[in-house]
C-alpha cells in the first residue's frame, strides 16, 4: 500500500499509477507461438495446450445437450433463480441500447441513411482458473443476443477433471449461447480467430482473460474484431470526511480478491480517513477466505492519494480514469458532471461495485488501465455493424455536381470530378 499527497494542479505520473496494458515481451512471444501452432495444426495443437495448461484429464470438446441438462439438474435452485434475475436485469438494460436503421430524403430525391445489422458470429471468452464466472457469460452473451447475433460461441477453460462449472453452463443456456467449447488461454483465442477442424471462426471476440488471453487478442486484432484488451481489474474510491471507513475497506478488498494484480485506489480529501481505512483493511484481510490473493493486491497495487481539496481529488480521479469508481462523498450526484473518465460510476454508500458486477443491469465488462479516457463498457453496439446508404436521383446529382467537381479539383483528383461530369455529357450534346 502506497500513500501520496497530491497538491492542487499536481499531475500523476504513469509509474505512480502502477499499471500498463502492454504485455511483456515473454508473454507476447508465448501467445504468438501458440497462435501460430493452432493455425498450423488446428485441433491437435488445441488438445496439446489444453492438457499442458489445464491437466491431463482436460480435453477440447463441444459441450453436448446432455451436459447442459445435468448442469441444470445439479445447480441449486436458489442460484438458478439468481442467475435468471440477473439475466432479466441485464437483458432489460441492454434492450434500451438498441438502435435502428434510419434513412432521410431530400426534396430533390437524394436518400442517405445508416443500415444497422448484427454481426453473424461472435466468440465469448469466459475465464476459468481461480474461479468460475457465470455472470460474465450473461454480460457478454446477452448484449449479443439483443443485437441479433445468430451464432454465439463460448470458450472457457475446463476444470481439472475436464468438466465445466454447472453455473457457467446454466448461464450459457439462459443467455442463448449457441456452442460451448472446453478450451481456454491464447489457444482458444486463436481457434476463434482462425478456426480449426472442430471450431469455425467468428467475426469478433469479446470477454476478459489473463495476460496471455489479452496478448492473444491484441495479436489477432485486425484479422478478427475484438472488444478491448483488458488489463487487471481496478477500482477507485473517492471519499471525504462523511465516508464510512468500514465500507471503503471492504469495497477495496472486494476488488483486491479478484487477482493479485488487481489495482485499487483511494482518493480522499480527509487525511484522518486514511489511517482508519488502513486499520479496517487489515481487520478484514484477516477474515477473508482469499488472503494470499487479496494481500498481494493490497500490498503491491493499492495507492492512496490525499488531496488538498475537492478539485484536486476530481482531477486525480479523471487522471486515473478507473474501470470502477465509487463516490463516497456528501451529495455524490452533484459531482457526476465533474467526473469525465470512468468505466462505471457508483454513487453513494448504498451502491457498492458488487451491484454492478451482478444484478443492476449495466455491463460489467469495462475499460481498464486508464482506457476509460476514450473507451466505453461493452454494449449492444459492440455486436452490430453499420453501413452508410446513399441513393441520388438525377435532380440530386445535378444540384450537387458543381460542388463535387470543385472539391475534387481542389484535391487534385481528376477522375473524381469526371465521374460526375460524364453522367451529364449525353444530355449536353443533345
Q: Which residues are catalytic?
A: 323-324
Q: What angle do CA 275, 280, 282 make, to 5 degrees?
A: 100
Q: What is the DSSP string of 331-361?
A: SGGGGGGG----SEEEESTT--HHHHHHTSS
Q: Which residue has the cell 458486477?
A: 357
Count the neighbouring beta carbons within 10 Å of the beta carbon of residue 113: 16
Instruction: Quote the DSSP letter at residue 396.
Output: H
Quote the CA–CA distance of 268 and 273 in Å, as a whole number.
8
94 neighbors 363 (Cβ within 8 angstroms): yes
* Nearest Cα residue to 345 out of 358, 359, 362: 362
- Pick from 340, 142, 348, 150: nearest CA to 243: 348
Name residues whose C-beta falls within 8 Å of residue 322's C-beta, 6 or more positions apart in sequence: 234, 235, 236, 265, 341, 342, 343, 372
Maximum Cα–Cα distance for the chain, whole Å?
93
User: What cell numbers appear for 85 in the block?
Assistant: 434475475
Distance from C-alpha of 366 to C-alpha of 154, rounded to nearest angstrom: 19
Amino acid at each position: 500500500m502506497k500513500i501520496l499527497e497530491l497538491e492542487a494542479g499536481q499531475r500523476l505520473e504513469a509509474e505512480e499509477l502502477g499499471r500498463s496494458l502492454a504485455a511483456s515481451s515473454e508473454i507476447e512471444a508465448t501467445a504468438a507461438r501458440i497462435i501460430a501452432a493452432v493455425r498450423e495444426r488446428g485441433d491437435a495443437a488445441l488438445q496439446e495446450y489444453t492438457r499442458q495448461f489445464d491437466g491431463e484429464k482436460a480435453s477440447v470438446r463441444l459441450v453436448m445437450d446432455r451436459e447442459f441438462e445435468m448442469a441444470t439438474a445439479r445447480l441449486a435452485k436458489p442460484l438458478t433463480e439468481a442467475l435468471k434475475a440477473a439475466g432479466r436485469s441485464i437483458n432489460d438494460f441492454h434492450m434500451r441500447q438498441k438502435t435502428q436503421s434510419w434513412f432521410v430524403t431530400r426534396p430533390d430525391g437524394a436518400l442517405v441513411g445508416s443500415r444497422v445489422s448484427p454481426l453473424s458470429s461472435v466468440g465469448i471468452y469466459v475465464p476459468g482458473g481461480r474461479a468460475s464466472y457465470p455472470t460474465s457469460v450473461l454480460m457478454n452473451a446477452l448484449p449479443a443476443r439483443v443485437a441479433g447475433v445468430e451464432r454465439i460461441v463460448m470458450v472457457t477453460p475446463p476444470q481439472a477433471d475436464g468438466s465445466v462449472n454447472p453455473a457457467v453452463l446454466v448461464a450459457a443456456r439462459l443467455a442463448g449461447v449457441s456452442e460451448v467449447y472446453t478450451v481456454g488461454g491464447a489457444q482458444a483465442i486463436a481457434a476463434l480467430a482462425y478456426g480449426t477442424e472442430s471450431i469455425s471462426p467468428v467475426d469478433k471476440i469479446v470477454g476478459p482473460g489473463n495476460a496471455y488471453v489479452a496478448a492473444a487478442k491484441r495479436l489477432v486484432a485486425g484479422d478478427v474484431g475484438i472488444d478491448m484488451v483488458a488489463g487487471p481489474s481496478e477500482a477507485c474510491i473517492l471519499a471525504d470526511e462523511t465516508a464510512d471507513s468500514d465500507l471503503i475497506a471492504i469495497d477495496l478488498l472486494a476488488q483486491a480478491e479478484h487477482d493479485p494484480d488487481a489495482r485499487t485506489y483511494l482518493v480522499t480529501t480527509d487525511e484522518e480517513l486514511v489511517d482508519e481505512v488502513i486499520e479496517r483493511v487489515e481487520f478484514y484481510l484477516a477474515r477473508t477466505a482469499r488472503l494470499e490473493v487479496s494481500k498481494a493486491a493490497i500490498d503491491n497495487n493499492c495507492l492512496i492519494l490525499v488531496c488538498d481539496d475537492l478539485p484536486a481529488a476530481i482531477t486525480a480521479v479523471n487522471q486515473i480514469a478507473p474501470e470502477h469508481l465509487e463516490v463516497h462523498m456528501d451529495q455524490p450526484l452533484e459531482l457526476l458532471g465533474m467526473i469525465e473518465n470512468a468505466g462505471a460510476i457508483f454513487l453513494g454508500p448504498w451502491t457498492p461495485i458488487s451491484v454492478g458486477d451482478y444484478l443492476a443491469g449495466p455491463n460489467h465488462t469495462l475499460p481498464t488501465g486508464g482506457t476509460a479516457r476514450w473507451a466505453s463498457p461493452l454494449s449492444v453496439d459492440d455486436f452490430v455493424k453499420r453501413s452508410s446508404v446513399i441513393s441520388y436521383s438525377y435532380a440530386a446529382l445535378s444540384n450537387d455536381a458543381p460542388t463535387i467537381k470543385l472539391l475534387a479539383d481542389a484535391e487534385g483528383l481528376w477522375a473524381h470530378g469526371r465521374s460526375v461530369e460524364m453522367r451529364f455529357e449525353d444530355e449536353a450534346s443533345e
